[in-house]
């Protein structure tokens, strides 16, 4: 199953090489590990002292940890033991096994990672699809979650909106031009956060060129029930960019308001808010988890 995540073996090697270049840009010492789980080997990147409170991070549906946390890991690791997880089925370095395609379960998978580290309590946070994963785990194992943060997401995920936003670029031949067009749809007007970093732009182009996004279709998404949403209200908060076309729309905000789930709208940001407003989001994450907000 692992090879099917990429359109070619060559593409996999190109992406992995770029992954390591991005990881070198984290500006913090890291360790990498492959953790055996029921559904395959899960790759994680850790940073910071193991004596600090653990913070497990989840990236989006068509990216990976090296890309997602490049502007956040150094600062977060000064306050937490950071564990950035490459999602099974995504274009990171996790390798699904045959059991993945037969019936992947997100929350139990995350719990196997938590048990591998021996955590009894931890913080969880994620961006986009990662916000759903963090929410899903919080609901399934609330006794393990101290606090939860969802960024560029909410309690009403819309895969249809995601598909519409990624089209037609996701179907066009991958190029620098295609990448720029897509990223400008994902970010705030005038944002140059990705375009000003050549390796990030190359990596995005490689993702469009080489990743077989059908490998993520094994993931399923459920509508949260009222008692489950109550757990998110108790433990969590959502951060949404004011220009986020995937998360900032009337129905999503009405749902948060109706259930009184805490959220903050971040000015000058789109779907990539933790990149576009990295310093602000680092302060928000640290402040919320440490009880200062």
Identify each DSSP E strand in 91-234 by its residue range. Answer: 95-96, 122-127, 145-151
Answer whether the bond into residue 100 is a cis peptide, omega within 30°.
no
How confident is the model over 21-37, as pLDDT tens digits?
A: 999 999 999 999 999 99
Domain boundaries along the sequence of the chain? 2-289
Q: Candidates 3.30.420.40, 3.40.50.1820, 3.50.50.60, 3.40.50.300; correct CATH number of 2-289?
A: 3.40.50.1820
Cα 293 to Cα 283: distance, rounded to the nearest angstrom: 10
> Which pLDDT does position 160 carry in this prediction?
66
How confident is the model over 143-158, as pLDDT tens digits?
A: 999 999 999 999 876 6
Taking 50 as the pLDDT cut, the residues of the chain under it are 1-3
Give the phi and the psi of residue 56 in degrees, each rounded to 5: -95, 130
């Amino acid at each position: 199953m692992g090879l099917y995540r990429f359109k070619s073996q060559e593409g996999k090697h190109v992406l992995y090489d770029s992954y390591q270049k991005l990881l070198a840009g984290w500006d913090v010492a890291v360790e990498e590990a492959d953790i055996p789980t029921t559904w395959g080997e899960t790759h994680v990147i850790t940073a910071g002292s193991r004596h600090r409170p653990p913070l497990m991070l989840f990236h989006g549906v068509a990216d990976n940890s090296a890309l997602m946390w490049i502007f956040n890991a150094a600062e977060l690791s000064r306050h937490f033991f950071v564990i950035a997880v490459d999602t099974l089925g995504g274009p990171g370095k996790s390798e699904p096994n045959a059991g993945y395609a037969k019936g992947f379960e997100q929350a139990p998978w995350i719990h196997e990672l938590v048990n591998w580290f021996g955590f009894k309590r931890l913080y969880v946070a994620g961006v986009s699809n990662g916000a759903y994963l963090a929410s899903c785990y919080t609901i399934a194992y609330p006794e393990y979650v101290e606090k939860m943060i969802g960024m560029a997401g909410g309690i009403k995920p819309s895969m249809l909106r995601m598909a519409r936003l990624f089209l037609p670029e996701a179907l066009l031949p991958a190029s620098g031009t295609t990448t720029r067009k897509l990223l400008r749809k994902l970010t705030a007007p005038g944002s140059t956060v990705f375009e000003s970093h050549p390796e990030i732009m190359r990596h995005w182009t490689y993702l469009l060129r080489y990743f077989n996004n059908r490998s993520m279709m094994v993931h399923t998404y459920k509508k949260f029930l009222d008692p489950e949403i109550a757990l998110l209200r108790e433990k969590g908060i959502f951060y949404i960019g004011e220009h986020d076309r995937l998360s900032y729309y009337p129905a999503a905000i009405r749902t948060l308001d109706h259930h009184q789930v805490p959220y903050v709208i971040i000015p000058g940001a789109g779907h990539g808010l933790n990149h576009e407003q990295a310093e602000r989001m680092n302060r928000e994450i640290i402040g919320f988890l440490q009880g200062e907000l």
